[in-house]
Amino acid sequence: MTEWTRLPDLASRAVGGGVVWANDELFAERENLIKPAEPVYQTYTFGHKGQIYDGWETRRRREPGVDQAVVRLGMPGVVRGVVVDTAFFKGNYPPFCWVEGAHVDGYPSADEITEWFPLVERSALKGDEKHFFDVSEGRRVTHVRLTIDPDGGVARLRVHGEPVADPRLLVGGIDLAALENGAVVTGCSNMFYSAPNNLIAPGQATVMGEGWETARRRDDGNDWVSVRLAAAGVVQLVELDTSHFKGNAPGWASVRGCDERTDPDAWFDVLPRTRLQPDTRHRFVVDAVEATQVRLDIYPDGGMARLRVIGTPTGDGVAHLRSVWADTTG
């Protein structure tokens, strides 16, 4: 066991990582690569495509080429080591693999990432074994690409390293839209699958059912949720988290705000209509603006795990919070 295995797994689903693309996953789905738990195996457990494996497994190639999967790190940072685990893949493991990294701003799709640099050189693999690879690259990494040559199965990919925060996202304040801070959902266009209160619940969603999801629209409209903030505040950052929503995430979203103290009908852009990626925690720094309410519009429909509105309570906002406290604590 190497020392860097004590560092956090930057790719783990537990910290918000996601497998955003794979060219093939016929036998076993790509998302298994970053599951926090150790892989398991049950003999003679067959689905309609064969033995069920707790990992990522591609079909047998009948032509030249390689198979690849792209992982968006839940915590971008400097990678110190990679573990490629072929647990339970014995006659169907890939003979070779390599791993590359990328550092990109924003939330691109996998095919928009064009510049990759090596983390692990082409290396031989064995079946049913953990392979530990030291990484010397010192650049911050936001995405990794695992290539297996030519095909086969990998149970887990661990990317151990030191998180490096984007200082642009390190804004002060509290979550003004948090249910636990006193925010309230005041309106919702549709809650066919799950309640909008889930959007502002504490913690990260662990499954799709812990978010808010609407029915499929068959018209030209869009779905929305409005939230009265816990207190009047200066909004500085908006988080739109589509974690676990993969084929049903909204294509775009916008956030508007209003300040009831001045004009309850005067709505303004907090975050203009912006493209979203599936299964991704999006964080956007916005121009500082005072608001007492926000409205999230998703286009055209779909699901979202969490909405966060980070900001600093105004003097009026602090007074309101103190008043509620005094009135309810005697």
pLDDT digits (tens, 9 = 90+) for 60-111: 999 999 999 999 999 999 999 999 999 999 999 999 999 999 999 999 999 9
φ/ψ of 151, rounded to 5, equals -165, -175
The rounded distance, in Å, linking the Cα atoms of 97 and 273 is 40
Q: How far is CA 199 from CA 177, 188, 271, in A?
A: 9, 11, 17
The rounded distance, in Å, linking the Cα atoms of 225 and 296 is 5
Specify the pLDDT at position 99: 98
Helix (H) or strand (E) holding 53: none
Instruction: Write the DSSP string, 311-323.
Output: EEE-HHHHHHHHH
Q: How far is CA 222 from CA 18, 229, 300, in A?
A: 26, 22, 4
- pLDDT beneath 70, residues of the chain: 1
The rounded distance, in Å, linking the Cα atoms of 31 and 276 is 19
pTM of the predicted protein model:
0.91
**Best CA proximity match to 99, nearest among 157, 151, 36, 19:** 157
Q: Ramachandran region of residue 128, left (φ > 0), alpha (ψ -120 to 50) or beta?
A: left
Instruction: Write the DSSP string, 174-230.
Output: EETT-GGGT-EEEEES--SSS-GGGGG-SS--SSGGGSEEPPPP-SS--EEEEEEEE
Specify the pLDDT at position 1: 65
